[in-house]
Amino acid sequence: MMISVVQKPFHSVNCNGKLVDLNQPKIMGILNLTPDSFSDGGEFFDEKSALKQVEKMISEGADFIDIGGQSTRPNAEFISAKIEIERIGNLISKTKKEFPEILLSLDTFYSEVVEFGFNEGIDLVNDISAGNYDSQLLATVGKLKLPYVLMHNHSEYSKMHEKIEHQDLVLTLNYFFSEKILELQSYGITDYILDPGFGFGKTAEQQFQLIDELEYLNFALNPLLIGISRKSFIYKSLNKSPLEINEETQKLHLKCLEKGAKILRVHDVAEARKTIEIFSK
């Protein structure tokens, strides 16, 4: 009798010629260069404190640093590409000079900022808009041959936090990712990571359900990035502040890893590293 063996897909991403194996989960440390992010706004707004935070996250085990100049919390100020670039300044090139082995992700939905970041040395584009807020973004990412994080979200910036009625949330996301992956491929984007978009257009109940059913998302064909760090669906359900939910967040991180997550996007790198070590054992 023949026994069929189902092989798990090999997940990796090509960052500027460096093949990054995602079968061993990775950590993406968050660096907000904003005065108004929901839990750390203004803490790393100047270059000196930002570089110090980069060094701290690397020492704690971060594999990627995700640099962003625009807050996407509810009611945040909308800023232009020009201001994003001003906020980022020389941080990308200085980080690459001081920490050449670290992989840098740029959190933006502007093609102009992607071009700037590429010239400064980024390895990855993390876009909350799925290419919907700037018509040139996907073409720019494809032209520059950068890996791309595709996140599920509203197609309009002004509606990104409006709750959507979903009869079957996982089915909705699978349709969304299937269509968008074809679009990415049409622009020559061949390395992509999927992000379910926790905190965007989904109720708390839907987001907990999404964690429970994560293994059905894209059926593990592409690597998943999970960004639940300090998200309101966790801390509001517990009647706590964003800084008081580390234990509960790590339990959810572990559950996500068990269900196939490959990258954890986090504020607390050291705690996430402990969670990955537990999962690996």
Q: What is the pLDDT of residue 219?
A: 82
Question: What pTM value is reported for the model?
Answer: 0.92
Q: Report whether 210 contacts 196 (CB < 8 A).
A: yes
Structure tokens given for 15: 């960052």
- pLDDT (tens place) for every residue of the chain, 281 residues total: 454 444 556 789 999 999 999 999 999 999 999 875 445 445 666 889 999 999 999 999 999 999 999 988 777 788 999 999 999 999 999 999 999 999 999 999 999 999 999 999 999 999 999 999 999 999 999 999 999 999 999 989 888 888 877 779 999 999 999 999 999 999 999 999 999 999 999 999 999 999 999 999 988 899 999 999 999 999 999 999 999 999 999 999 999 999 999 999 999 999 999 999 999 98
For residue 156, give the nearest of 129, 195, 196, 136 by alpha carbon: 129
Question: What DSSP state is assigned to residue 8?
Answer: P
Question: What backbone phi and psi angles, to 5 degrees, belong to 96?
Answer: -65, -35
Active-site annotation holds for 231 = yes
Query: Choosing from 143, 265, 274, 281, which is the catalytic residue?
Result: 265
Query: Choosing from 202, 230, 231, 262, which is the catalytic residue?
Result: 231
Active-site annotation holds for 265 = yes
On the CB side of 63, CA atoms within 13 Å amount to: 20
Cα distances (Å, whole numbers) of residue 52 to 31, 233, 251: 11, 30, 28
Q: At the top level of CATH, which class does the domain 24-280 belong to? A: alpha beta
Alpha-helix residue ranges (DSSP H) falling in the chain: 47-60, 81-88, 91-98, 111-120, 137-144, 169-186, 204-212, 232-235, 246-258, 269-280
How far is it, in rounded angstroms, from Cα 137 to Cα 180?
A: 13
Q: What is the pLDDT of residue 46?
A: 83
How far is it, in rounded angstroms, from Cα 271 to Cα 247?
A: 9
